[in-house]
Amino acid sequence: MSAFSVISRQERRAALAEPALWIALAVFALLSAYAMLSGVQWSQTRAAEARLASAQSAERNAGFRKDLAIYESGQGSTLVKPSWYAAWIKAPTTPDARIAMPALPLAAFSSNAGELQPLVANMRAAASRYSLLDDFGASTQNPASLVVGRFDMVFLLVAVLPLLILAFTYNLLSSERESGTLDLVMTQPVRLATVLLAKLLVRGAIILLPVLALVMMGALFVALSSTGSAHPTELLALAGLVLTYGAFWLAVAAVANAWGRSSSTNALVLGGVWLLVVMAIPSLLNVSTTAVLPPPDRAEFTNALRSTLVESRNRGENLVSDFNLQHPDRPITDSGASHDAFDSAKATLRTWLVRERADALLQPVASRFEARLEDQQRVAERFRFLSPALAFEAALKRLAGTDTARSRAFRDASRQHLDRLRSLLVPKVLAGESLKAADIDRLPKFVMTEPTRSVALFADWLGIVVPCLALTALAAVGVRAYRKGA
Q: From the CB of residue 16, how many other CB atoms can be counted at a distance below 10 Å?
A: 11
Using one digit for the tens of pLDDT, what is the confidence trace for 369-410? Answer: 888 888 888 888 899 999 999 999 999 999 999 999 999 999
Summarised one tens digit per residue, pLDDT across range 210-226 is: 999 999 998 888 877 76
Provide the residue type at 55 as one letter: A
Angle ∠(115,120,122) on CA atoms, nearest 5: 145
Percent pLDDT > 90 in the chain is 30
pLDDT-derived band at 269, boundaries 50, 70, 90:
very high
Q: How would residue 120 be classed by pLDDT, with cut points 50, 70 and 90?
A: confident
User: Is the dihedral angle over the CA atoms 179, 183, 189, 192 positive or is it negative?
Assistant: positive
Q: For 89-103, 222-236, 269-283, 440-454, which range has the lowest pLDDT when averaged over its residues?
A: 222-236
pLDDT tens digits, residue range 125-160? 888 888 877 555 444 444 444 445 688 999 999 999
Look at residue 335 and tell me whether its pLDDT is greater than 60: no
- Residue 98 β-bridge partners: 122
pLDDT at 17 over 80: yes
- Closest-CA residue to 372 (of 295, 430, 290, 440): 295
